[in-house]
Amino acid sequence: MLEYKWKEAELPSNDQIEALKNSINVNRIVATLLCQRGFSDFESAKQFFRPSIEQLNNPFLFKDMKKAVERINIAIEKNQKIMVYGDYDVDGTTSVAIVFSFLSKFTKYIEYYIPDRYKEGYGVSKAGIDYASQNDFSLIISLDCGIRSEKLVEYSNSKGIDFIVCDHHLPGETLPPALAILDAKVPGESYPFKELSGCGVGFKLIHALCISKNLPEDEYLQYLDLVAVSTCCDIVPIVDENRVIVKYGLEKLNQNPSLGLKVLKESCINKKELTTSDVVFYIGPRINAVGRLYDAKTAVKLLIVQNEEEAIDYTEILNSTNTERKGIDETITAQALEMISNDALHTSKFTNVLFNPDWHKGVIGIVASRIIENHYRPTIVLGFSDGKISGSARSIKGFDIHEALIECSHLLLQFGGHTHAAGLSLLPENLPLFIDKFDEIASRRLSRDMLQPVIDFDLKITEDEITPSFIKLLKQFEPFGPGNMTPIFYTSSLKDTGYARQMGGGNIHLSLNFQNPNFDTPIKGVAFKQGEKYERLKNNKPFEAIFSIQEEEFNGRTNVQFNIRDLR
């Protein structure tokens, strides 16, 4: 089991905390948490606690938005065929679902296209453009992909097909020659918020189309539940415009979701109020699973469905595929961990690069994340198909994996992604050189100290500071996610009431109970993957803990729970 360092976040000055505490009438802890997040005055704190739809930016702040809207409206007026082209993950399929559903109200000359993960790979494909050409499409709108597809967009142009790129990934040195590019990360782009998901960019496109057609705001706001699912699952910062999207999108998901999401939600989680983490752990994996193993079009069919029986059928496919995905994922993870334990040189390396030609390409990104949970290093997991090695990369704090792949680009056929996650492919003969080069880059950019994982906590609190009113205020910090993570606390003397027990297969987890003078009943606690510490605390011994506080819904009742991240 990994040993974690505990690190307290930098605390604001006492003067800053006191000033905010007095101006908005909150306690020390809430004032500190707000200051740490950059909300240190009355107005910014008010905006944080009260996000509103009016805070959504004008979509025409994208410099190419007017061109994109005009071209789409021409296609609608002239009955030209439109292809909505998206990636096969949650972000891509939700993007396709909202843009296709919206445009279908104005034209019947429209189709969506999701590339085959195994035959076509990630992003825009030649096969997709050839399909568009053979079927007389005049316009392709790419969603969650396309910003690095300059040659394929050129190819599309040569076939007489216009191209609109809607993406949120980092561009390459050369931009694609598209008719319009909507990507806030393009140099010189005027759109003020740079961290929309791919589906978020698609949402801005339909927002702009509504403005151009003088339609009521409900015509685009009805898709907020799908945009929130994408924003949560694509791990983009839940700040600024994304905070508004997720807050109102979760409200819609919980109160009045689209039919497909309603049926999917009810099939996999028995809760009235879903949080961002529920979306990430229950909804996202099921949408992703069909794209990982089979055909992501099934996910789109569910997300645009209008018939409940069909929604139930598609949901059953998603659920069964996710169960199958879990089995494959567990098998590959076990094989990969054994591979590491059999590597005599592993302790001297700065990276994990693991290859097995039989590993399923669709789940190796998940496996890479699992490996990091056990061996904390930048990790790449690779399989083999169509004569080339390909796979997924996941990183650790302080290491930009996309930059590292740029430095290895002479050994790669293709790569793309973000700071923390990427995909890549290479020829088999280049694998030994790549493994050495990647590890050498990591050895330059990482110290051995950085290979020990750190749990950051916000501040130290005492048990008597945890009250029902404090928990009510904490709830107002939601929705949580990157940029506004769940507050993490340290306390020095938690004590189980004597009901501690191991749980889960192999007694891997801990269940705990704590007395607190501010609550009528004991507070439940759970410590995932810490079952081995049971002997040390079963005799009512006090312990230090890093933990978060949450409310758990069970059998219609809501209870306070401590989620113990680590304990000593």
**Rounded average pLDDT over 142-151:** 95
**Antiparallel, parallel or unpaired: β 543-554 and 557-567:** antiparallel
Cβ–Cβ < 8 Å for 314, 305:
yes
**Rounded average pLDDT over 502-527:** 89
| Residue 38 located in a structural domain | no
Q: How confident is the model at residue 3 (pLDDT cuts 50, 70, 90)?
A: confident
**Antiparallel, parallel or unpaired: β 180-182 and 352-355:** unpaired
Number of alpha helices (DSSP H) and beta strands (DSSP E) in the chain: 21, 19
Q: What pLDDT is attached to residue 319?
A: 97
CATH at 493 = 2.40.50.460
| Residue 101 located in a structural domain | yes
| Residue 70 located in a structural domain | yes
pLDDT in tens, 214-231: 999 999 999 999 999 999
Asked if 391 and 465 sit in the same domain, the reply is: no
Q: What pLDDT is attached to residue 414?
A: 85
Say yes or no to pLDDT of 520 above 90.
no
Strand partners, 15: none
| Residue 430 located in a structural domain | yes
Cβ–Cβ < 8 Å for 288, 266:
no
| Positions of E strands within 160-234 | 162-166, 180-182
| Residue 309 located in a structural domain | yes
Helix 198-212 vs helix 224-233: crossing angle, to nearest 10: 160
Q: What pLDDT is attached to residue 515?
A: 86
**Rounded average pLDDT over 343-371:** 91
**Domain end call among 318, 352, 376:** 318
Task: Return the amino acid letter for 235.
Answer: I
Asked if 304 and 435 sit in the same domain, the reply is: no
User: Whole domain around residue 118: which residue ranges?
Assistant: 59-318
Q: What pLDDT is attached to residue 559?
A: 84
Per the structure, how many domains does the chain have? 3
**Rounded average pLDDT over 348-372:** 93
Residues above pLDDT 90, as percent of the chain: 80
Asked if 112 and 260 sit in the same domain, the reply is: yes
**Antiparallel, parallel or unpaired: β 379-385 and 543-554:** unpaired
Q: Specify the DSSP element, H or E, that contains 513.
A: strand 509-514
Asked if 207 and 111 sit in the same domain, the reply is: yes
Asked if 232 and 373 sit in the same domain, the reply is: no
Structure-block tokens of residue 491: 């306390």
* Residue 174, CA atoms < 13 Å, CB-side half-sphere: 8
Q: What pLDDT is attached to residue 123?
A: 85
Asked if 289 and 226 sit in the same domain, the reply is: yes
Asked if 88 and 220 sit in the same domain, the reply is: yes
Asked if 179 and 87 sit in the same domain, the reply is: yes
Asked if 166 and 150 sit in the same domain, the reply is: yes
| Residue 154 located in a structural domain | yes
CATH at 389 = 3.10.310.30
Asked if 288 and 187 sit in the same domain, the reply is: yes
Q: What pLDDT is attached to residue 251?
A: 97
Asked if 10 and 74 sit in the same domain, the reply is: no
| Residue 554 located in a structural domain | yes
Residues above pLDDT 70, as percent of the chain: 99
Burial of 41 (0-12, 13-18, 19+ CB in 10 A): middle
pLDDT in tens, 21-51: 999 999 999 999 999 999 999 999 998 999 9
How many Å is the Cα radius of gyration of the chain?
25
Asked if 430 and 503 sit in the same domain, the reply is: no
Per-residue DSSP letter, 565 = E
**Rounded average pLDDT over 548-552:** 89
DSSP per-residue string spanning 218-248: HHHHTTHHHHHHHHHHTT---SHHHHHHHHH
| Positions of E strands within 451-533 | 454-457, 459-460, 489-494, 501-503, 509-514, 523-527
Q: How confident is the model at residue 380 (pLDDT cuts 50, 70, 90)?
A: very high
| Per-chain mean pLDDT for the chain | 93
| Residue 209 located in a structural domain | yes
Q: How confident is the model at residue 1 (pLDDT cuts 50, 70, 90)?
A: low
Cβ–Cβ < 8 Å for 248, 224:
yes
Structure-block tokens of residue 247: 């807050």
Strand partners, 6: 455
**Rounded average pLDDT over 343-362:** 90
pLDDT in tens, 193-218: 999 999 999 999 999 999 999 999 99
CATH at 112 = 3.90.1640.30
**Domain end call among 451, 484, 510:** 451
Cα separation, 148 vs 170, in Å, equals: 8
